[in-house]
Amino acid sequence: MTPTSLPGVLIVEPKIYGDDRGFFLETYHLERFRDLGIPDLFVQDNQSRSQRGVLRGLHFQEPAQQGKLVRCSRGAIFDVAVDIRVGSPDFSKWFAIELSDKDQRMLWVPPGFAHGFLALTDDCDVTYKCTAFYDPPSEQGIIWNDPDVGIRWPIAEPKLSTKDAVAPRLKDAPVLPSYRAG
């Protein structure tokens, strides 16, 4: 486990056992992950497949906040977490990492952070465990290229869903009282 520049956002590097037949790794172990500070209650697993250039995000839920343990099981992604906790000293700051099937690293994105990713390869599979169920009325988003956040995406014109293309800037996003610090 490696801390990142955003408190609470963690890089998880699993031990991979490989030989000439392939490899094996644990993608989740309750006690080990709990010891790393990752919650022990996941209620939903999700998977998406994307083509190169597809950008999904930046998503979060309010009030049904979700933590996400994200892994790219096929291909490679540019994975991003943005601190959206009003009052946090890291509010609007972001962290990004490449996740791929080569090293099988995972990113823990706790509640209070928006999450998004860009597919860097074709047929890119992303799987993630969630600490809360998907709740359509709680679904929120921030525009991927918000100049106040300033994410340096490795693409100028990604492929976006209609919903993601019209997401608000962080300064115009709904008030997030449950993220307020203190």
Q: Kindly report, residue by residue over 59-89, the tens digit of the pLDDT.
A: 999 889 999 999 999 999 999 999 999 888 9
**What is the C-alpha to C-alpha distance for residues 78 and 120, in angstroms, rounded to an integer?**
7
Q: Could you report the per-residue pLDDT of 33-60, keeping only the tens digit for each?
A: 998 889 778 999 999 999 999 999 999 9
- Write the CATH number for 75: 2.60.120.10
Domain carrying residue 135: 2-179
Alpha carbon distance 179, 112 (integer Å): 6
| Mean pLDDT of the region 177-182 | 48
Domain count, the chain: 1
Q: Which of 161, 70, 82 is nearest to 124 (CA)?
A: 70
Give the length of the chain. Answer: 182
pTM attached to this predicted model:
0.93
Q: CA-to-CA distance for 139 and 113, rounded, in angstroms?
A: 13
Q: Which DSSP string corresponds to 77-136?
A: EEEEEEE--TT-TTTT-EEEEEEETTT--EEEE-TTEEEEEEE-SSSEEEEEEESS---G
Catalytic (active-site) positions: 59, 128
CB 47 within 8 A of CB 159: no
The pLDDT score that the predictor gives to residue 9 is: 96
Token pair, residue 73, equals: 């099981």
> Distance (Å, rounded) from C-alpha 129 to C-alpha 8?
16
